[in-house]
Structure 1
Amino acid sequence: MPNGNIKSEIRNPKSAIEKLSHTFDAFLSRFGRLTAIQELALEPLLSGENCVLAAATASGKTEAALAPILERFQQRRFKTNSQKQTAAVKFLYLVPTRALARDIARRVEQPLKKMAIGLAVKTGDEPALKPTRPPEFLITTPESLDSLLANRPKMLRDVSAVVLDELHLYDNTPRGDQLRILLNRLRRLREYAFTKGDAATAEVQFCALSATMHNPASIAAKYFANPVLIQTDGQREIDAKLFEMRGAESLRELFATFKAREVKKVLAFCQKRAECEEWVNLLRGSAPFGDEVLVHHANLSANIRRQTEENFARTGAALCFATSTLELGIDIGDVDLILLVGAPDNLGSFLQRIGRGNRRTRRTRVACFYRTPTEEAVFQVFIRAAKNSGAETSALLASDNGLAFRPSVVVQQLCSYLKQTTHSELNPEHAFGLFITPNGEPLIDRNQYEKIVEHLIEKNFFRPAMRGGKQLQAGEIWEKLYEERAIYSNISGTNERAVVIDDMTGRRVGFLDSKLPAGSTFLMGGHARRVTL
């Protein structure tokens, strides 16, 4: 549905309170008045439509989705006079990163508490869920959802709604393909529970959120059927300047202007983790930030990342170097300037990064440092596209697209699905029905699928089941992957990671992508460290 075709009847808070009698106070009262996306999303979501919400950062998309979705659930619960909680998850909120999971949890904890709805987070950083007392509202990642479907499918048989946050980060990636099949597995689970009388309905309502997406409805249609597009413009003015990078001195020259420009908090993005570490090591202790020069990337431990997020949000003046881990809507307070060291890989990433700045104003300030003429040209194209937001932007975002579907995902999903089945056996013919679009069209050619299955049998991932027929059961390789807990994410041949432990405190700092020999030095958390073991 094109932008502007959705007409909302909500014109004032009083009307919204009437329509959201169970959720307005918890989720929307703090806004004073509804934002544009909240107003437009209310009617379609209340009526049970699948939606995709496309709006600028800091526009209240999370509340725009959750208030009507939870209201619909509460209305049905009170209508049937069924207020007793059952041991099953009712709502899934899917996020691409653990950091965003924690941030969303902080954001919705109090509203859900007001509504007496239990909340939990399931990621690799969080404690395991209690099977006998699962939450009604679960925030998780695709990998953890995969683990739940495989090991605790009954916990998900009552899921009535799924929110997909930052959908653009999944699309056209292996994780996106994995997510498409996971949602098919969830739908199949719901249908099975309904036919067995274990669920009142097989319906699942979906809502996707994104601030940066080309053709949002078409992208959302890969994940769920009949998405209604709800879109607002809300574009902020972009004040972007280009600077040549000549080393640390280039940054110090920019820093010298901060006092006059009233710049106190800066978020700097680099393309590589090692770059972040090097800049922090160079700049920590120097003016104007002193020791408040922080670092954030995926190789740091969860506790270190969480501490960085909290320190940066709390501190009045600070500089934080990050990779894509802080591209997302994690609450780090208001940022006065976005600093980009090198051009991002694509326009989508560029838009996501600059969207992190000046959220409380209508103007985003960006400093772009280029190291080569090519990077300078890329920055110029990105800046022009971001300011125009027209056909050029759409064309560049569309050019980021990759493969339609990766056959390698079949391997991982079949391995995981085997664990989900009742007797830990699968019928390849029946499993083929998982690899379809929401409208039922095959994602992979049947002949190619059958060759993949034959290969998995040949390589001893699977073997014929003892009771014969077409059923397959676990082979030696599957058993090994299961023991290593490697079947819940895309299977690869990556090297074993080395955990980094601080000798003085005994605290886990993070990990390296590969082991280093004793005596080697490296940077981690902005400090030089030496391998002792």
Structure 2
Amino acid sequence: MPPDLDPIVVHHLVNTLGWRDLRPMQRAAIPPIRGSMDALLLAPTAGGKTEAALFPLLSRMAEQRWTGTSVLYLAPLKALLNNLQPRIERYAGWLGRRAAVWHGDVSTSRRRAVLFERPDILLTTPESLESMLVSTKVDHRLFFADLQAVVVDEVHAFAGDDRGWHLLAVLERLTRVAGRTLQRIGLSATVGNPGELLTWLQGSGAGSRPAQVVAPDVVAVVDRPPPGDIELDYVGSLANAATVIAGLHAGEKRLVFCESRQTVEELGQLLREKGIRTFLSHASLSVDERRRAEQAFSEARDCVIVSTSTLELGIDVGDLDRVIQIDAPGTVASFLQRLGRTGRRPGSSRNCLFLTLDGDALTEAAALLQLWARGWVEPVNAPPEPRHIVAQQVLALCLQEHRVGDQLWTQAWNGLPPFGESGRPIVRHLVEQGYLDQDGGMLFIGPAAEQRFGRRHFMDLTAVFTGPPEFTVLTGRNELGRIDPSLLTEEVRGDRRLLLGGRSWRVTYIDWRRRRCFVEPADGGGRARWRGSGWAYLGFELNRAMRDVLLGADPPVAITRRAAARLAEVRAEKAHLVHPGGTVIVREKDGDLRWWTWAGFRANATLTATLGEVVDPVERFDDCSIRLREDLTPRAWRSLTADVADRLCLPEVDEKALVGLKFNAALPTRLATATLAARLADLDRAAMVVDEPARFLVT
């Protein structure tokens, strides 16, 4: 054992945990963390990242005699925090220290205990952390006065969307509250740009604080498992997938990933009908339902749990034998996370069986496995121009401090762009619209903010995302989960039946005012649906890999006979849509003209906005192609697109789309529209596409 850990920690590693040594990543993490450096620790799922961060932090805590709440442990999911709490409490207890959890599901009495006892390690989410900063019941300056370090688990899950901007902004405000620079330690699965991710995590300290990426095991993450352990199959329907799952791997514990909640529900019901012991997990099931399922699954052997990406992160569901994927995850990074759920037992290896339901899904899965086999993983990049988060942060700062100088508010984020001078037009708009009041050179919360965000102690302001309205489903007093309201409003003959938790329920009463729906068990016929479920943009690299597959490339995995046969059919069907030397413009027999760019949604959105003179005004584009005007000729195409690389522009945004941008009402419409347009654009990939030869074909 390394001598630079506290002797008590070393004693318990050997005698309590029975460890002979640390893993390479855990050993490599000790010097930078003991040396107060910022760090990014990379390892696969169950790679010991939590221990790699905490053991040197606990050693510093003992050596330097930290007092009060000195370490924050942040994670994106409350369930992950609940899962980690016993483990972290155990480690802290070795040194007579305490850990506690704080989030929206923690009872009032437990929160009072946390405030009174000030645990050494606090496990929370960024949203709950901000709630503490703005709460009138928390003396945040006293509570965080002794803070020294922040650990951000699954940091890649934050960085790729607006929760990442929110996290960075809250950490900057927390730095000012604590009155010292806080050490930042990120824990992540494999990403394509670890150095950039660490720089992002450092926030305003990037370039001025020492930092290190710790990733000695990364090569092992991307290396392929033994031949045959990754298998690609085609089954044609969800019912067939259930038959395959029910017939394979009897006596083993299987985790099945689906890309939508509706698919989880339907597959769960199909498996139960076949007598398979089945559990479900997705975001619209109640906390108690998910917890019961995950606990029962972790303790069982011959069973299946069907899940969305909720079980992709580090929640422990016990020792798995198999991972099965319905269709394909949207990214290589997700596949690596899911693959890392298996192979934890000595003598076992990582494995995954893909069961694809149609030809497009089969092509996408083969393409994703091609990228994985090349060792490629998506870079994690923060979404550009988060003006709506700037508006939210200014309002939250005014709640936290009550009154803020109208010239000094920019200091709260320590110079972190874009929470600085560039935000002044946003602050002017907040004042003009009544979200902020201004008096005597001070800013404070105005009546419009009270009206729009003030419910439940401004909880709406601290939550960066708002999901679509859903109805809570109850059987008796027990909450089952939430459903899309359209299931309660559409016309039906006979009983109205829902599918939730893999079981059918008959609706007995609907409380429209309180958005509650009461049910009782039914013998079948239930339906599941959620708005916006199961669809996401496909990126440039995945689209280009799909083109490679259609051109004949096979991933180096086991491919079943029926998958190979179906893939051959798809290649024959789409042979005219791909060319190895560039893009293809195809005029179909019905006269439709479509440009097959294989460039991804964002690049196609950019090209569509730029080429208004040649793009069909009605049905415009998708991930793979752009529909062009029917009367376009090859000559006109060459003339109208000759200078396109020099005039690429941002995509157009319908104002109706602003509903999906939380806090858009706190922005001028032009700035909210500009934010969405920047996020829809891919100028670099669009420029690459227009530089490629485009061939006209007539079928």
Is residue 161 of structure 2 the alignment partner of residue 173 of structure 1? yes
Query: What secondary structure is seen at the aligned counterpart in 2 of 1:243?
Result: strand
Unmatched runs of 5 consecutive residues or more in structure 2: 490-494, 511-699
Distance in 2 (CA, whole Å) between partners of 1:227 and 1:405 is 26
Partner of 1:4 in structure 2? none
User: 1:425 and 1:512 mapped to 2: Cα distance?
Assistant: 41
The aligned runs of 1:354-433 (5 Å cut-off) are 354-361=339-346, 363-389=349-375, 393-394=376-377, 397-398=378-379, 401=381, 403-421=383-401, 424-433=402-411
Structural mapping, 1:368-517, within 5 Å: 368-389=354-375, 393-394=376-377, 397-398=378-379, 401=381, 403-421=383-401, 424-435=402-413, 440=415, 442-443=417-418, 446-447=421-422, 449-465=423-439, 468-484=440-456, 485-490=459-464, 492=466, 494-503=467-476, 506-514=477-485, 517=488
1:258 aligns with 2:238: no
State how far apart, in whole Å, the 2-side matches of 1:162 and 1:18 are.
21
The residue correspondences of 1:22-421 to structure 2 (distance < 5 A) are 22-26=8-12, 30=17, 31-77=19-65, 88-128=68-108, 129-130=111-112, 131-151=115-135, 152=138, 153-154=140-141, 155-191=143-179, 202-224=180-202, 225=206, 226-233=210-217, 234-235=220-221, 237-238=224-225, 239-247=229-237, 248-259=239-250, 264-287=252-275, 289=276, 292-361=277-346, 363-389=349-375, 393-394=376-377, 397-398=378-379, 401=381, 403-421=383-401
- The two structures have a TM-score, normalised by structure 1, of 0.84
Q: Name the CA shift for 1:463/1:110 in 2 (closer, same or farther; >3 Å).
A: same
**By how many angstroms is 1:469 displaced?**
1.6
Asked if structure 1 preserves the Cα contact closer than 8 Å seen for 2:28 and 2:214, the reply is: yes
Structure 1 runs not aligned, ≥5 long: 1-12, 192-201
Distance 1:156 1:253 in 2: 53
Paired AA for residue 140 in structure 1:
T
In structure 2, relative to structure 1, the CA distance for the partners of 1:120 and 1:516 (3 Å cut) is same
Comparing 150-159 and 379-388, the one that deviates more: 379-388
Deviations along 1:113-156, whole A, 9 cap, x unmatched? 22221221111122242222232211111111111122232212
Superposition deviation, residue 491 in structure 1 = 5.7
**Conserved? CA contact 1:354–1:366, under 8 Å:** yes
SS at match of 1:499: strand
- Please, what TM-score do these two structures have when normalized by structure 2? 0.65
Higher RCO (C-alpha 8 Å, min separation 6): 1
Count of residues in correspondence between the two structures: 478
Kept after mapping to 2: 8 A contact 1:522/1:528: yes
Alignment check: 8 A CA contact 1:338 1:366 kept: yes
Instruction: Give yes or no for contact 2:413–2:420 (8 Å, CA) kept in 1.
Output: no
1:510, CA displacement in angstroms?
1.6
Q: Which amino acid aligns with 1:299?
A: S
Moved more, 161-170 or 123-132: 123-132
User: Cα 1:526–1:184, aligned 2, differ >3 Å: closer, same or farther?
Assistant: same
Give the 3-state SS of the residue equivalent to 1:242 in structure 2: strand
User: Among the aligned pairs, what percent are the same residue?
Assistant: 27
- SS of 1:258's equivalent in the other structure is coil
Q: 1:49 to 1:27 in 2, by over 3 A?
A: farther
- Contact 1:497–1:515 (8 Å) recurs in 2: no
Measured after TM superposition, the shift of residue 275 of structure 1 is 1.0
Conserved in 2, the CA contact under 8 Å of 1:51 and 1:206?
yes
Please give the alpha-carbon distance, in whole angstroms, between the structure 1 residues aligned to 2:171 and 2:416.
Answer: 15
- Higher radius of gyration, 1 or 2: 2
Between the aligned partners of 1:179 and 1:514, the Cα distance in structure 2 is: 32
1:69-109 Cα offsets, whole Å, 9 max, x none, are: 111121011xxxx8xx5xx4211000010111011112222
Which amino acid letter does the alignment assign opposite residue 169 of structure 1?
A
1:294 counterpart letter in structure 2: F
Deviation at 1:445, TM superposition (A): 7.3
1:332 Cα deviation after fit: 0.7
Any conservation in 1 of the 2:242–2:270 contact (CA below 8 Å)? no
Q: Are residues 142 and 281 of structure 1, via their aligned partners in 2, closer, same or farther at CA, if it must alter by over 3 Å?
A: same
Change (3 A) 1:496 1:253: closer
Contact (CA 8 Å) 1:435, 1:443: kept in 2 or not? no
CA contact (8 A) 2:44 2:337 kept: no
Aligned in 2, Cα 1:64/1:460: closer, same or farther, shift over 3 Å? same
Change (3 A) 1:514 1:415: farther
Query: In the alignment, is residue 528 of structure 1 matched against residue 513 of structure 2?
Result: no
Mark the CA change 1:310 to 1:254 in structure 2 (over 3 Å): closer, same or farther.
closer
| Structure 1 pair 461–471 and aligned structure 2 pair: CA distance change class (3 A) | closer
Cα distance in 2, alignment partners of residues 170 and 451 from structure 1: 27
**SS across alignment from 1:43:** helix
Q: 1:298 to 1:257 in 2, by over 3 A?
A: closer
User: Could you tell which deviates more after superposition, 175-184 or 523-532?
Assistant: 523-532
Whether contact under 8 Å (2:78, 2:103) holds in the other structure is: yes
User: What is the CA RMSD across the aligned residues, in angstroms?
Assistant: 2.3
